Amino acid sequence: MSLSTPPGTSREGLTGFEGQLIGPEDAGYDEARAVYNGMIDKRPALIARCATPADVARTIGFARERDLLLAVRGGGHNGAGLGTCDDGVVIDLSLMRDIQVDPEARTVRVGGGCTWGEVDRATGEHGLATPSGIISTTGVGGLTLGGGLGHLTRRFGLAIDNLLEAELVLADGERVRASADEHPELFWAIRGGGGNFGVVTSFLFRLHEVGDIFGGPTFWPVEDGAEVLAAYREFLPGAPRELNGFFAFHTVPPGPPFPEEIHGRKVCGVVWCYVGDEAAATAAMAPLLDILPEPLMHGVQSMPHHALQSAFDGLYPAGDQWYWRADFVNEIPDEAVEIHARFGQEMPTLKSTMHLYPIDGAAHDVAPADTPWSYRDARWGAVFAGVDPDAANVSQIRKWSIGYHEALHPYSAGGAYVNMMMEEGQERIRASYRGNYERLARIKATYDPANTFRVNQNIQPAT
């Protein structure tokens, strides 16, 4: 443990801290302050890598007594950089990564600092899984607290729909368990309301039987974007819920497993995940594939769920520059299809992308007010992500992402998935929670009246 004192903070209040304390003059500070999005360059006064819930409580008290801004970091993946802050204290949960699978009870208990890859591998050993996202390096904490959309959404719902309980440290340092029976209002709020209500030190998720899935990408030339998207929008809502398929624009990376002749080629396509075997998957995909031209690549196969989850990891390592925009979408009219087709062809860099994540199937079994995640009637979550390793290209990726979003926003449902927004202001946050915002604000006033947890898509305490 480092004992040096960062400017402006005395560490006396952290006596007994069991984890690691890292300040600006400590070796490893730059590594410790870096988050996934290379565009975020914040300099906290102190990074507290907590080892226990007691460390978390000590650090919250430390920051509050000194009136320092407090950020909480799970996997550090947030596009807007909400896992860190300038000049304040960061609670970094990366030492709290315990994972306990209970195959009998079909549950997994997960430390607040875990990333999805390690959870998926541990549950996969038992032929079990819980819904997460599409990239294995994303944090369980932020993804779950914001909702959690991914390969298993249509079959088993959002990550929050499978959350059974959570252990939290509250703003006053109290440790509580939130579930349907204990602190039920708090339990409601953390299923979509983000890190506004406390620091989650462990999550308990329901597991489902998920043996090998059948999945991977089907790619067509980007020039076929309008035809493929128009067919996809008609096909997907009627497809069986075992079949998840998100529509995407991508550029084919220059390496295996992609055939050399399409390296560097802009494509549109669907990334599939069928929970079941090849024969059933092929039959489920056929109504779409049969009416479209021969694809450039149909790279589907049986594989463990965690293998599909990790498929994008190599393409998107930590440190790239990311600029995000997002919207919920109910329908994709012909005019919107044409706009997609145009911006798909104008993707500015190899890693820039647009995804349409399905929100139907099991996600529609939950009513809009059952959790804060109010857009249960939406059909897709659209994300427009400008991505490049080179900081010199930031204005280019930003311009494309914003232009694409603004052109399509009039066709959207209004709000956006909070986990895929930048810092876009209160109006946008309210639009994303719709009628659930006021209840969230009342719960915030009960559990965090001073808004200690405000480095997030912030819910303002009701007055």
Ligand X SMILES: Cc1cc2nc3c(=O)[nH]c(=O)nc-3n(C[C@H](O)[C@H](O)[C@H](O)COP(=O)(O)OP(=O)(O)OC[C@H]3O[C@@H](n4cnc5c(N)ncnc54)[C@H](O)[C@@H]3O)c2cc1C
Q: Is residue 134 a contact residue for ligand X (CB under 6 A)? A: yes
Residues 131, 148 contacting (CB under 8 angstroms): yes
Q: Work out which of 50, 183, 456, 459 binds ligand X, going by CB under 6 A.
A: 456
Q: Is residue 74 a contact residue for ligand X (CB under 6 A)? A: yes
User: Which residue stretch of 101-109, 130-138, 296-304, 400-408 sits at the interface with ligand X (rule: CB under 6 A)?
Assistant: 130-138
User: Which residue stretch of 10-18, 191-199, 225-233, 430-438 sits at the interface with ligand X (rule: CB under 6 A)?
Assistant: 191-199
Q: Which is nearer to ligand X, 295 or 323 (CB)?
A: 323
Q: Mention every residue, 6+ apart, whose C-beta is less than 8 A from residue 118.
A: 97, 99
Task: DSSP letter for 12, please.
Answer: G
To ligand X, the closest distance from the beta carbon of 147 in angstroms equals 6
- How far is Cα 461 from Cα 463, in angstroms, rounded to an integer? 6
Q: Is residue 408 a contact residue for ligand X (CB under 6 A)? A: no
Q: Is residue 340 a contact residue for ligand X (CB under 6 A)? A: no
End-to-end alpha carbon distance in the chain: 41
User: Which residue stretch of 79-87, 326-334, 368-376, 435-443 sits at the interface with ligand X (rule: CB under 6 A)?
Assistant: 79-87
Q: Is residue 141 a contact residue for ligand X (CB under 6 A)? A: yes
Q: From its phi and psi, is residue 194 left (phi > 0), alpha (psi between -120 and 50) or beta?
A: left
Q: Is residue 142 a contact residue for ligand X (CB under 6 A)? A: yes
Q: Mention every residue, 6+ apart, whose C-beta is less than 8 A from residue 293.
A: 220, 224, 227
Omega within 30 of 0 (cis) for the link into 253? no
Q: Is residue 246 a contact residue for ligand X (CB under 6 A)? A: no
E strand segments, 288-379: 297-298, 301-303, 321-329, 353-358
To ligand X, the closest distance from the beta carbon of 442 in angstroms equals 19
User: Which residue stretch of 3-11, 144-152, 207-215, 255-263 sits at the interface with ligand X (rule: CB under 6 A)?
Assistant: 144-152
Q: Work out which of 20, 59, 310, 419 binds ligand X, going by CB under 6 A.
A: 419
- The Cα diameter of the chain in Å comes to 68
- 3-class secondary-structure state, position 122: helix
Q: Work out which of 200, 359, 363, 382 binds ligand X, going by CB under 6 A.
A: 200
Q: Is residue 82 a contact residue for ligand X (CB under 6 A)? A: yes
User: Which residue stretch of 99-107, 143-151, 400-408, 437-445 sits at the interface with ligand X (rule: CB under 6 A)?
Assistant: 143-151
To ligand X, the closest distance from the beta carbon of 293 in angstroms equals 28
Residues 22, 47 contacting (CB under 8 angstroms): yes
Q: Is residue 304 a contact residue for ligand X (CB under 6 A)? A: no
Joined together, the tokens standing for residue 330 give 């109910």
**Using alpha carbons only, how large is the chain's radius of gyration in Å?**
22
Number of residues that make up the chain: 463
- How far is Cα 371 from Cα 392, in angstroms, rounded to an integer? 41
To ligand X, the closest distance from the beta carbon of 77 in angstroms equals 3
Q: Work out which of 14, 21, 90, 420 binds ligand X, going by CB under 6 A.
A: 420
- How far is Cα 104 from Cα 111, in angstroms, rounded to an integer? 20
Q: Is residue 135 a contact residue for ligand X (CB under 6 A)? A: yes
Q: Is residue 77 a contact residue for ligand X (CB under 6 A)? A: yes
Q: Mention every residue, 6+ apart, whose C-beta is less than 8 A from residue 37.
A: 77, 78, 79, 80, 81, 320, 321, 322
Joined together, the tokens standing for residue 89 give 């204290």
To ligand X, the closest distance from the beta carbon of 112 in angstroms equals 3
Interactions with ligand X, residue window 426-445 (CB under 6 A):
none
To ligand X, the closest distance from the beta carbon of 447 in angstroms equals 12
Q: Are strands 208-209 and 297-298 parallel, antiparallel or unpaired?
A: unpaired
Q: Is residue 117 a contact residue for ligand X (CB under 6 A)? A: no
* Residue ranges that bind ligand X, judged by CB under 6 A: 36, 72-79, 82-83, 93, 112, 133-135, 138-139, 141-143, 145-150, 194-195, 199-200, 316, 419-420, 455-456
